[in-house]
Chains A and B, each alone.
Chain A
Amino acid sequence: MSILRQFSRLSICPTVKFQLNRNISTTSALTFKITEQLWAEPMKKKKKIDPAIVKAREERRRKKIEKQIRRLEKNARQLKPIDELEVPLHLMDSLKKYKRPPVQLSVEEIEARELLQKEWARYKRDEYMNNIAQVDRIMAAQKRALDRLYEESEDLYNEAIMPDLQLLPYTISGPVATPPIKDYESPDGEYIDVSKKWDN
């Protein structure tokens, strides 16, 4: 019945005849009604706050925010451990433009390269064997010299085989690619090594 009444609102012609409900009662009727909001307050008077205190509050707020900024920045200044480093996003996005077109090598070229690798392996092996042979030769020469010294006099031999304690630590700087220029003034200036040392 109620559904029908709700739908009747949509129709143009009335489906149901309205009945006037005039409640007439002889005794006092108990009609429930909710009153309007009674427990509100009128607006309080705005007290004038001391401008100094206002300023102090603002200062404190600003300082708090600045401290947080500084803390974040300190975090950014500290170097990340290498394990945590990532490729910067702008590089990852533009990876395409950095790629080269793939190289097409002919079969002969590939074969020539492989043969070169094998030749190099052979060359390096020869070099290595030569190095070992030289080291052996020099060591044998020293051994022979010591044997002869032993034949000659035992005392000298014993003194010769004592370790030289002043030798280590020994440093030699190796050969360079181009000859050193005399009295060369480095345009970048001299560098002073400030790396931390942890010696005992």
Chain B
Amino acid sequence: MLVKTLMRMNITYYHRLLIRSISSKPAWDILTGICIERLPVVTPPLTEMQKKYKEFLLTVEFEKSMKSNHEIQHENDKKQAELFKAESQDVDIDAVNKVTAQDFEDAANEEYSKFKFGNLETDADKKGDKTSTERCLQRHLVLVTQRKLGNDSKTLLPQGHWQEGETLRQTAERIVKEQIGSELQIKFISNAPCGFYKYKYPSEMNGKVGAKIFFYYANYKSGNPTKSKVNWLTRKELDEMLPQKYSNAVKEFLIEETY
């Protein structure tokens, strides 16, 4: 009787050991996510402090400066005009008739007002078109796609599974080609991932407990995505559209916008 219980205890003990040795480490899926960022094209607007200081610097520069030839010409013209008005002497009619400094300045100002600078608010801005890179020229834009996870589709950075025999960087490049098209010109900046996010599957899939996503950062150079519909989101929109914890993980490695 005692021997039987002992044997049973041994069997259950060894059984537990066996099970523990097989499923010792939980297995995770390895994915790479790619953060493609279009850097701002136009400088952001000046803050109040910067505007005040800029004005201050300009006035100090003016005070310390010397007169330019244009200014001296202007003063001379004024004197000539006064003399001419007073008609005390008929001074140098030639000197009065030629192009005055004021005329030159007015002509220059006119030319400047006629010149059309590029519009900060592009067509894409006006339409609210999120799929073009021409929107929000002063902000950073990040590329996001729609993905189906389980039942619902979420907005995420493009991601895909890592395959045996390739480095994570090669995985990243492959995923971009597959999911977005090879027309998009981007430049990865390192072999190392810049961010990390892990999440557990609601139920075990293929023996994997969850997925670990390693983010790779790339700079957008030119081109358009062809294979799927993508959106370019600003920091605020990223905050709103991405799922909460995911968004936190992504914001860790992105530059914060100050305005």
Indicate if A134 sits at the interface (CB-CB under 8 A).
Answer: yes
Identity of the chain B residue whose Cβ is nearest the Cβ of A146 in the assembled complex: B192
> Using an 8 Å CB-CB cutoff, how does the interface string of B61-97 with A read, 1 for contact, 0 for none?
0010111000010000000000000000000000000
Q: Nearest Cβ distance between residue A92 and chain B, in whole angstroms?
A: 13
> Using an 8 Å CB-CB cutoff, how does the interface string of A151-181 with B read, 1 for contact, 0 for none?
0110010011111100100101001111111
Indicate if A120 sits at the interface (CB-CB under 8 A).
Answer: yes
The complex places the Cα of A34 from the Cα of B191 at a distance, in Å, of: 116
Q: Are A161's CB and B53's CB within 8 A?
A: no
> Using an 8 Å CB-CB cutoff, how does the interface string of A116-151 with B read, 1 for contact, 0 for none?
100110010000001000100110111011101100
Q: Are A175's CB and B187's CB within 8 A?
A: no
Q: Nearest Cβ distance between residue B200 and chain A, in whole angstroms?
A: 15
Q: Are B168's CB and A141's CB within 8 A?
A: no
Q: A145-B214, A149-B193 are in contact. Are A97 and B72 (CB under 8 A)?
A: yes
Q: Nearest Cβ distance between residue B115 and chain A, in whole angstroms?
A: 10
Within 8 A of A (CB), among B184-243: 187-196, 198, 212, 214-215, 219
Q: Are B192's CB and A142's CB within 8 A?
A: yes
Indicate if B56 sits at the interface (CB-CB under 8 A).
Answer: yes
Q: Nearest Cβ distance between residue A13 and chain B, in whole angstroms?
A: 72
Classify chain A: how many residues form its interface, as a range. Answer: 35 or more
> Using an 8 Å CB-CB cutoff, how does the interface string of A90-128 with B read, 1 for contact, 0 for none?
000000011110010000000001001001100100000
Q: Are B194's CB and A179's CB within 8 A?
A: no
Q: Are A160's CB and B252's CB within 8 A?
A: no
CB neighbours (8 Å) of B67 from chain A are 97-100
Q: A138-B252, A179-B118 are in contact. Are A163 and B167 (CB under 8 A)?
A: no
Q: Nearest Cβ distance between residue B212 and chain A, in whole angstroms?
A: 6
> Using an 8 Å CB-CB cutoff, how does the interface string of A77-97 with B read, 1 for contact, 0 for none?
000000000000000000001
Which of A100, A142, A180 has the most chain B CB atoms inside 10 A of its CB? A142
7 further A-B pairs in the complex, CB-CB below 8 A; given A160-B192, A179-B137: A97-B67, A100-B65, A141-B252, A142-B193, A145-B192, A156-B168, A159-B191
The contact sample of 18 A-B pairs, CB cut-off 8 A, is: A103-B63, A116-B52, A116-B53, A119-B49, A130-B256, A134-B256, A137-B252, A138-B255, A144-B196, A145-B192, A152-B30, A152-B212, A156-B30, A156-B162, A156-B168, A167-B189, A170-B189, A181-B118
